[in-house]
Structure 1
Amino acid sequence: MLGALRRNKRDARARNDGDADRPSRASLDAQRVQVALPKADDCIMYGELKRQIGDSQHRWNVREVRLTSYAISFGKPGSEHLLDMIPLHEVSSITFQDTTRRGSRMSQRGSLKKSFRRVPSTDSYSFDVDEEDLTFVINPIRNGYNLGRACVLRAETSDSFYQWVSCIEAQVNRARKEFRRRQNQTVFKKYQVKLRAPYESNLVKLVMAATISAAFITSLLDAEFAPEDNTELREAINALETSFTVFFTVDLLTNMYANWSRWFFANPWNMLDLLVVVISVTSEFINNLPSVALFRILRIFRIAKIFRC
């Protein structure tokens, strides 16, 4: 979603700074592709706030505001279409709008309780304090998605004000840390994350289960017929066993890379995999290794591991 809107906004910044919600080329492009607001159930906090239009102190629009772990999104009340968004890791600061404290950072922070996840709408209260005291500004970085354009928001009550500001600040801090962590990832870590999802997919699990079953049947045939050396059946079984050993060795190495290191060694099923593969590989170089057939049959227990995960 961020990537699609970023491409739209890249072509649509020949705007004047007058209207924060004016239907710019970016917003029209976003509506054409029907970019939706995050679902309320996926939000950390959501509700209605007033958003200042341009630099006018008297022009405000009510906006549906939804806060997730990665962005704060804006839409019209009653609509699920996204008008604008601010990536949280690009927020440089949150400041008061009050002219006596302009530019000062929020010094009072509240704690957000789960019961306050849905903040009352702007129609629920009348102002009982100075509106300027309930106004705050989200300041994005200049070279980011919003090109440094400040977003001025106003709450209806002091409770709503502190809930929004404290929660946004908390999520901004988390998003910054996560962004820095991702930026500082080594090549090893980046490909490890990319490999983990497909490795743990249902398709890979089915392929593994089928291969383990085939290896188990091959081991049973070997034990039942006990073919003599230099016969066609013995050569066929040896070829199959070698193929299974190579397959399971590749699987083990993939598993070690995708889950290295704590998650791999903390799983006892992985230790069984490691034992069976090591013995199988050793048997390829040492003839008549005792108990090899037994350990190969133990592979069948890996099916329990696969469908247990």
Structure 2
Amino acid sequence: MTPRPTSDLRIAPAQSFAPAAERDPGWGRRRLLAVLAAATISAVLLLTGLGYAIHFALTPAEQATPVPAELTHGNPPSGIRPDGSPAAGLTRDERRDRIAAAPMPPAPPADAQPAPPATQLADPITIPPATTAGPAMVPSGFPRTPEGAVAQLAAIETTVLQAMSIPVVHAVHEQWALPGGVGPGEWSLTGHVRSFLGAARMGAEKDLRTVVMATPAAAQVKGTDGPDWVLACVLLEVRAVIESEARIGYGHCERMRWQPIDTDDPNQTGTAGGRWMIAPGDPPAVAPSTWPGSEPAIAAGWKTWVDAEPAAAAGSHDPAATAPTAGAGAAEDRG
């Protein structure tokens, strides 16, 4: 797949938006009680309560916080024309804040539950593979493209959610979030981990009997501003097993910025002299959490995740193999 040009600012076309939260309020306890009770009402499950904990912790809370009127019901953010091009007179930070704050389609909690597949096919988005292990054991080495930013965000999310550990989430945030954004205590992923551990009555880390699997299933690029800044969104299928199993779809967005590598720091790894990191600024509008491949997921703009074929190993004689794409040089814009 040939990456789209990213020399100017873009924002995805508006759909039928409704008010969305300015910040992700975390995963609450109420939403899946009825669903789980309908799915299994065995005495064992009712006695342990652990099955409920999966649902309580993995269900996005209701999006109740209002957003400004200019950002609701499909209106493009102020300063962004309907075609997605930037209006004159905006600073770089203003453009990026407008993209981040633009609301996404709302998704009621029921949309995150397993559902029949849609009758239409979602557009694909081809995601490059990791080529190295980055700080805090997060896969890294993705190219300087919008798809590379999406891949890096997915690697950050899956590392955090599968560990379900407060120490791990702090370590990941320290190594992968640039200064100027929310701290580890206010990060939405920290809130989700804390909710899960609290609902399951665990300590600072999940116990050895608990398994959490997070698999990227869909993604979208909400907007770009030049080659070094992307508003990336990933839709994960999250599966948690304690004494019963629960599955939901979970959507999450972050500002991502290409950060040049300090070659004098042995702890920094990346590709072509840099890596994607979480960019500073207020958290973006809440992403719609929908079941991957469902009608609501397609309506929300999620594209089917397709893994790119890994590049051929050195010395391979496979004529179909392609050489790795060379990333662009170090970014001049460090904002």
- The interval holding the TM-score normalised by the smaller chain is under 0.3
TM-score by length of 1: 0.21
TM-score by length of 2: 0.19
Q: Which structure shows the higher helix fraction?
A: 1
Q: Which structure shows the higher strand fraction?
A: 2
Which has the larger Rg?
A: 1
